[in-house]
Amino acid sequence: MKNSLLFLGVVASATAFAPAPQQQPSTALFGGGRGEATTLSGKQATVATVQDLLSKSEMVITVPASGIKVPQVQKLRQSLPPGTTAKVVKNKLMARAIEGSTYESVGDELLKGSNLWFFIEEDIGGTIKSWNAFVKECGLKDSHEVIGGNIEGVNYDAKGVEAISKLPSKLELIAQIAGAIKAVPTKVARVTNAPGTKMARAIKLAGEKVNE
């Protein structure tokens, strides 16, 4: 009995001083280090998802993904305008997704390192504004500048993306055109009505003079 108690005490002491298992860094942002995302079917599903996003996108923009924590990227996604999707895609899977699409030229320059991609349906300016606010808040402004982007099959560097983001969006252009079209009948009415008003006044004055 004493020997059994002594043995249990030695085991308990050894366990108490055993090193704690090291916690592996989270890979959720990059699709996970294991599980379905790394299987053939998982990779095929990722490629199909990216292809669908590309088919709806007016522009794609890439920024560095390294150093961004999962909670941070979740907060970033919440701040993006409607129609913009942020997704980390491995270069090999992105290369497969863009094959045969208008974004095929992305592979020439932008598939380098770990990339977070923005798939933008229409609000390019709003997307860049959200990203700039995010990196400023997280202290990543100097290390996480925009890498580049692609619109209509043409790659642009950071300065080009910034310039494009300042252009009016499709919705803004439609609103401007609609406003201009709406103003045309009003202006025409003013021009056509003005002579008639003056003529009516002249006829009235002439009639008054005849009656005097």
Q: pLDDT per position in the chain (212 positions), as tens?
A: 544 444 444 444 444 444 444 444 444 454 445 566 788 889 999 999 999 999 999 999 999 999 999 999 899 999 999 999 999 999 999 999 999 999 999 987 899 999 999 999 999 999 999 999 999 999 999 999 999 999 999 999 999 999 999 987 666 666 667 766 765 565 555 545 555 554 455 445 445 544 45
For the beta sheet containing 148-151, the strands, ordered from the edge strand earlier in sequence to the opposite edge, are 84-88, 115-120, 59-64, 148-151, 154-156
Cα gap 149→157, rounded to integer Å: 7
Q: Mutual orientation of helices 124-137 and 70-79 as an angle, nearest 10°?
A: 140
At 38 the pLDDT is: 80
At 23 the pLDDT is: 41
Q: How many CB atoms lie within 10 A of CB 152?
A: 8
Cα gap 100→121, rounded to integer Å: 19
Residues 6+ apart with CB under 8 A from 153: 102, 103, 104, 105
Q: Which whole-number Å values give the CA distances from 59 to 50, 72, 97, 151, in the listed order? A: 13, 23, 15, 5
Q: Does the domain made of 28-166 have the CATH classification 3.40.50.1980?
A: no
At 183 the pLDDT is: 59
Cα gap 212→183, rounded to integer Å: 44
At 56 the pLDDT is: 95
At 10 the pLDDT is: 43
